[in-house]
Amino acid sequence: MTRTDFIPALLVAMTLLIGCDDGSNDGTQGTMRGGATKVVTVQVELQPLVDQIEALGTANAYESIEIRPRISSLIEIIAFEEGQLVSAGDLLVELENSEIVAGLALAEASLSESRSLYDRNKSLSSSQAISASNLEQLLAQVKVDEARVQAARARLANTRIHAPFSGRIGLRRVSPGSYVDASTVITTLDDISKIKLDFSVPETFLRAVKDGMDIIAHSIVFPERIFAGTILSVDTRVDPVSRAVQVRALIHNDDGALKPGMFMTVDLQQDQGAVLMAPEQAVVPEGTSQFVFVVADGVVSKRAVTLGRRIPGFVVIREGLAKGESIITEGTGKVRDGSQVESLDQASATMQRATNEG
């Protein structure tokens, strides 16, 4: 046989070999030619979707003031201790008041004299011994003296500073004998039996917050504790720059663990209802479109879907799928529209892989 005769014979032999191939090694894992491809599927069901955010807030006292005098004078008595719990109405500070007491005594004496004069002349008015206009002037003087007495008593009252509400006294910033005026801070008073927690949330979360809603707060100072509270109010305005709204919650602080100014975090949840969710690996992108492979009666159908928000490991299916449909999560690269498949659930697929590896 010549070299030119040998080449056609070799081609014929190769053709016969290809024709005898039984398809057992066509490159498709787990598939026989003419048989069904094994894939892993999952049934799409409605799942509850809850948005969660962590808001940052600042703790404030339920009531808080700086104790200042209303008049200028010397401090005579300091009736509190630093850190002391006081009740509403308790005396805190008494200022030197001798001049004011003397002024009050003078005003009271003038009032007594003007009243006596008015009363004597009033008894004479019936006999017309005094004119009506003179009697009116005497009455006006009585009222002026009464006003002076009231003013003197008010100045005297201002020399005694009382707690306007129950709370805990802060640090003392003055000493007995110090000269103080309206700009002087003597101490602070905070009611921390309850804490106002102010925090902001995005405007998209407005539906999730409302008066009376329960919240959970945490503090880095007490990482093991959970502080439960209730929303008191939501601000009426949204900040046009941050697009957030201020929220105020109330937390009971009976043990005084929380202090005004502390940094806290708040966990908030917003129920979005039930939505269709699919595993991320089931979604096949093609250009700008997204597809899934739906399996019904062992036949694959390529379906375009519209996606919603993504959650770690899952994606919300807004359109394209219905509750109860089965989609391929493993094996999407081995099938096409119209393929025959054998469906395995995740548990069966895991067991089969373990058997093969064994």
Quick one: 275 exposed, middle or buried, by C-beta within 10 A (0-12, 13-18, 19+)? middle
Say whether domain 30-45+283-357 belongs to CATH 2.130.10.10: no
Crossing angle of the two packed helices 98-124 and 132-157, in degrees rounded to 10: 160
If you search the block for the tokens 């308790």, which residue do you land on?
A: 90
Given this model, what pLDDT does residue 357 score?
Answer: 54
Distances in Å between the alpha carbon of 208 and those of 211, 215, 265?
10, 11, 17
> 53-62+192-273: which CATH topology?
Elongation Factor Tu (Ef-tu); domain 3 (2.40.30)
Q: What is the predicted pLDDT for the residue at 248?
A: 95
Report the amino acid identity of residue 43: Q
pLDDT, tens digit, for every residue of 200-226?
A: 998 888 877 888 888 889 999 999 999
Q: Is residue 74 over pLDDT 60?
A: yes
Q: Which CATH class is domain 97-158?
A: mainly alpha
pLDDT in tens, 257-284: 999 999 999 987 666 678 888 899 999 9
Give pLDDT tens digits for 141-196. 999 999 999 999 999 999 999 999 999 999 999 999 999 999 999 999 999 999 99
The answer to whether the predicted template modeling score (pTM) of the entire model surpasses 0.95 is no
What is the pLDDT at residue 4? 44
Q: What is the pLDDT of residue 172?
A: 95
Sketch the domain layout of the chain as residue ranges: 30-45+283-357, 53-62+192-273, 97-158
Does residue 2 register a pLDDT over 90?
Answer: no
Reply yes or no on whether the pLDDT at 106 is more than 80: yes
DSSP secondary structure letter of residue 142: H
pLDDT of residue 18: 40
Q: How far apart are CA 29 and CA 268, in angstroms?
A: 47
**β-bridge mates for residue 190, sequence order:** 64, 168
**Range 50-73 average pLDDT:** 90
How distant is the alpha carbon of residue 341 from its chain centre? 50
% of the chain exceeding 90 in pLDDT = 53
- How confident is residue 127, by pLDDT bands cut at 50, 70 and 90? low
pLDDT recorded at residue 53: 77
Instruction: Report the chain's mean pLDDT, rounded to a whole number.
Output: 84
Average pLDDT over residues 35-48: 85
The C-alpha atoms of residue 104 and residue 86 are separated, in whole angstroms, by: 30
Question: Which residues are bridge partners to 235 per DSSP?
Answer: none
Cα–Cα separations (whole angstroms), residue 140 to 124, 146, 164, 277, 342: 17, 10, 36, 86, 109
Query: What pLDDT shows up at residue 128?
Result: 64
Tokens 């493993």 belong to: 330
**If 0-12 CB within 10 Å is exposed, 13-18 middle and 19+ buried, where does residue 202 land?**
middle
Mean per-residue pLDDT for 341-352? 65
Integer angstrom CA distances of residue 166 from 84, 91, 117, 171: 11, 12, 47, 16
Looking at residue 147, its pLDDT comes to 95
At 116, the pLDDT band (50, 70, 90 cuts) reads confident
Q: Report the pLDDT value the prediction gives residue 38, as an integer from 0 to 100.
A: 87
Closest alpha carbon to 119 in 87, 86, 88, 141: 141
d(CA 168, CA 191): 6
Per-residue pLDDT tens for 7-33?
444 333 344 334 444 444 443 344 444
Residue 181 structure tokens: 């005026």
